[in-house]
Amino acid sequence: MKISVQTSEKTYEVMIRSGLINQAGHYIEKMIPASSYLVIVDQHVASYYLEAFLQTFHTANIHVSVVPSGEQSKSFQQYEQLLNDCYAFGLDRSSVIIAFGGGVTGDLAGFVAGTYMRGIRFVQVPTTLLAHDSSVGGKVAINLAKGKNIVGLFHQPELVLYDPDLLRTLPNQEWRSGFAEIVKMGFIADKDFLLWLKAEVAQLPIQDEKKLEYMIGKAVALKADIVQQDEKEMGIRGILNFGHTLGHAIEGEMGYGALTHGEAVAIGMAFALKVSEQKKGRDFSSSVYLEWLASLGYRLTVPQVLKSENLLAQMMKDKKARHGTLNYVLLEAVGDASIEAIDATELKTFFD
């Protein structure tokens, strides 16, 4: 399956196909010729797939930097190290960086590409279910010690190669992490897709190859449609943050890694559903969706160890916050999201 994503500067393709990884080098060299390549690869992914991956390339001008797995790689130290690597390997303005790994690798490698020599091209080869989401849309970032994704850019990839076969080695927690973002697309933009997911996905991981390809392709296409309307997140793109304001706060308070991103977002979505229903005075039959998500292994309430004051303080530090007011993503109906200003005082009432 191929999806074209249009940006202000170019159009790039997202290719989704089982077995694609065995031709990765072929496609990259053909579609994105470069003076040299640097593969930035997650340590864990490298141990499984790197050797085979490199063998799909013909060029000898290919370098590798391995980064430790996990969110802590999105640090200034790792960022500086990779830029020093780029320079030591002699990468120039016609070089291309290949991000081979999950969302962390994509965010980090993309930020390196976006700032090395004021920006060189990069290709995403995502290896997790979650990374289907982060690899499209051009958001790249690293973390401050106290704030996730606070430092970054919009830097669009040249190509995204997504091979669902790579998901076979993922732990269940990672499946839940990625699947939450797919469910999110249904909630904010496509009720029929959400109902299809609910009918077809009774457990994770998903074994059926066709179902998996369709589901990822659909989520990418829905996201691409939103990103194309608002590349720099001045408006509509903000709805992609459904469940994320609380989700990020939970991740921050728990320490990154205690819950996966998508697991935290799932709690955030359950919370946002409640806020939406109460503020709008409507019934979305949320319980039907929440029970299904619970049956897939998601927890949907805020962990008791977390204090609501601390979560609120974190939420008010969100990038989307302005003048002490949060732009919160709510639902008008299932499949139809909108952004509304909520202040801290009101938000607090929903925690009680």
**89 lines the binding site for a copy of itself (CB under 8 A):** no
* Alpha-carbon span 190 to 192, nearest angstrom: 6
Per-residue DSSP letter, 49:
I
Number of residues that bind a copy of itself (CB under 8 A): 36
End-to-end CA distance of the chain: 46
Q: Which stretch binds a copy of itself (CB under 8 A): 82-90, 157-165, 222-230, 249-257?
A: 82-90
Closer to a copy of itself by CB, 253 or 263: give it.
Answer: 253
Alpha helix segments (H runs only) across 230-260: 244-254
Closer to a copy of itself by CB, 6 or 115: give it.
Answer: 115
Closer to a copy of itself by CB, 94 or 203: give it.
Answer: 94
Binding mask 307-346 for a copy of itself (x = CB under 8 A): ----------x-xxxxx-----------------------
What is the number of other CB atoms lying within 10 angstroms of the CB of residue 176? 23
Per-residue DSSP letter, 237:
G
CA angle 279, 246, 236 (to 5 degrees): 70
> At 35, which amino acid appears?
S
261 is catalytic: yes
Catalytic-labelled residue, pool 155, 184, 237, 263: 237
What is the number of other CB atoms lying within 10 angstroms of the CB of residue 90? 11
What is the number of other CB atoms lying within 10 angstroms of the CB of residue 225? 15
Closer to a copy of itself by CB, 35 or 69: give it.
Answer: 35
* Alpha-carbon span 189 to 331, nearest angstrom: 10
149 is catalytic: no
323 is catalytic: no
**116 lines the binding site for a copy of itself (CB under 8 A):** yes
Which of 58, 118, 168, 210 is close enough to bind a copy of itself by CB under 8 A?
Answer: 118
* Site residues (vs a copy of itself, CB under 8 A): 35, 76, 79-80, 83-84, 87, 90, 92-94, 114-119, 139, 141, 144-147, 150-154, 232-233, 317, 319-323
